[in-house]
Structures are given as C-alpha cells and as structure tokens.
C-alpha cells in the first residue's frame, strides 16, 4: 500500500463509526475474557503445584515422626476437589467449553457480519491519525 493512501479500515470497507465502536467493544470484552482465562489457567497450575507440595510436605512430616498430621493432610486435602466434583482441570475445561468458546464464536460472528472480519478498526484508525506520513517507522502497514 502506498504510504500516502489511507489505511482507514472503516473507510476502505464502509463500516460506520457506531458499528466499528460496537464491534470493537465486543472484541475488547473478548480480550478481557482471554485475560480472565489466563488467570484461570494460572489458578489451575498453582493449585496443582500446591497439591504436589503438600504431598512432599506429608513425606517430610512422616519422616520427622508426625504421621498423624501427614495422614490427615493426605486424607482431607491432598487430591481434594476444589469445588464439589471438580479438580481445577475440569473447571478450566468447563469454562472453555461452555463460555469461552461461545464468546469467541459470537465475537467472530459480529466481526464477520459487520466489519468484513476485520479486527481492531478503532486502533487502525488511531494508527493512521497518529503516524507521521513518509517516516519509515510509521508505515501504514
């Protein structure tokens, strides 16, 4: 694309400002959900690590002569469901299957039907508005 040609994705594809903003807000919400999902995976990994550490602690307690406490921790906490019937991997899987995947599907549908599938229209316009035309570090692409 010639540097002096506009990279305004709204103008190039006839997407009005209100629609671009609404679809952008859906995409922004998906980005927030992606961050939440990352935290959920962190929860999964940290909880699993804690469970393994507890197992190690039980061995150490037993070796130090504290068999009763080791047995209680193993019985009541090691391998315990974090919510009734679920380990953390199951929580992650349920989230992915029932919420996250549907969210991604709907966001994609909104972009496909309203912006020709284009992403980040607002940011593309901001880039065009803020770049220095002709400067190699400010290319439109």
- Bigger pLDDT: 12 vs 123: 123
Q: Tell me whether residue 105 is in a domain.
A: yes
Number of structural domains the chain divides into? 1
Could you tell me the pTM of the whole model? 0.76
Q: Compare 126 and 139 and report the one with higher pLDDT.
A: 139
**Which domain covers residue 107, as residue numbers?**
14-131
Helix (H, G, I), strand (E, B) or coil at 3: coil
Question: Among residues of the chain, what percentage have pLDDT more than 70?
Answer: 91
Rounded distance, CA 56 to CA 39, Å? Answer: 25
**Is the pLDDT reported for residue 134 higher than 60?**
yes
The answer to whether residue 138 sits within a structural domain is: no
The confidence score (pLDDT) of residue 13 equals 57
Dihedral over Cα of 91, 94, 95, 96: its sign: positive
- Longest distance between any two alpha carbons in the chain, whole Å: 78
Cα 12 from chain centroid? Answer: 30
Domain assignment present for 7: no
pLDDT digits (tens, 9 = 90+) for 38-67: 999 999 999 999 999 999 999 999 999 999
């Amino acid at each position: 694309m010639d540097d002096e040609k506009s990279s305004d994705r709204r103008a190039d594809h006839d997407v009005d400002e209100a629609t671009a903003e609404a679809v952008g807000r859906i995409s922004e919400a998906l980005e927030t959900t992606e961050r939440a999902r990352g935290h959920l995976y962190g929860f999964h990994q940290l909880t699993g690590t804690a469970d393994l550490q507890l197992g190690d602690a039980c061995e150490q307690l037993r070796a130090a002569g504290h068999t009763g406490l080791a047995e209680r921790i193993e019985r009541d906490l090691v391998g315990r469901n974090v919510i009734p019937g679920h380990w953390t991997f199951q929580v992650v899987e349920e989230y992915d299957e029932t919420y996250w995947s549907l969210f991604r599907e709907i966001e994609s549908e909104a972009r496909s039907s309203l912006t020709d599938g284009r992403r980040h229209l607002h940011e593309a316009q901001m880039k065009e508005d803020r770049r220095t035309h002709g400067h190699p570090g400010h290319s439109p692409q």
